[in-house]
Amino acid sequence: MQFSPAGLALLKSSEGFRSHEYRDAAGLPTIGYGHKCQPGGGFPAGIDEHYAGIILACDVDDAEEAVIHLVKVPLTQGQFDALVDFVFNLGAGRLAQSTLLRDLNAGHYDAAAEQLKLWDHAGGVELAALKERRKAEFNLWNSGVTL
């Protein structure tokens, strides 16, 4: 399974494009479409949208692989897309340790979907942008074919 155009649209809309490094909601150095910069691996001159798209494709591949590795039950395209966006935003470690994943792998799809909505905080503060992103992931999760 691969990230769909609908999933990519959500991700790009949620992240937005920035040509120069900035600090994300968690205070991490970020550039392009939400790419986390590695220490000493920044982009002092910035990047253009084309290069940001190349980086994004690599980051999405990593998120897809994490979802494929962690999830042990069948997924619809919408569920897969929602999880890839979640992992892109929060990291595979957060998914791996989550009640969301435990519920999902136990076959409790509705409970797992509800868990998405709880991940709307950064630094202990609820953020409107994260609340909207989780709502969009929830809607994507529930779109299309059911299992």
Cα-Cα end-to-end distance for the chain:
15
Report how far residue 31's alpha carbon sits from residue 110's, in angstroms, rounded to the nearest whole number. Answer: 34
132 is an active site residue? no
Report how far residue 1's alpha carbon sits from residue 84's, in angstroms, rounded to the nearest whole number. Answer: 11
Residue 74 to residues 48, 104, 116, 145: CA-CA distances in angstroms? 37, 10, 18, 12
Report how far residue 26's alpha carbon sits from residue 83's, in angstroms, rounded to the nearest whole number. Answer: 20
Report how far residue 82's alpha carbon sits from residue 78's, in angstroms, rounded to the nearest whole number. Answer: 6
Q: Which of 21, 24, 62, 103 is catalytic?
A: 24
Q: Which of 15, 59, 64, 81 is catalytic?
A: 15
15 is an active site residue? yes
Report how far residue 130's alpha carbon sits from residue 134's, in angstroms, rounded to the nearest whole number. Answer: 6
Report how far residue 83's alpha carbon sits from residue 101's, in angstroms, rounded to the nearest whole number. Answer: 10
**Where in the sequence numbering do the catalytic residues fall?**
15, 24
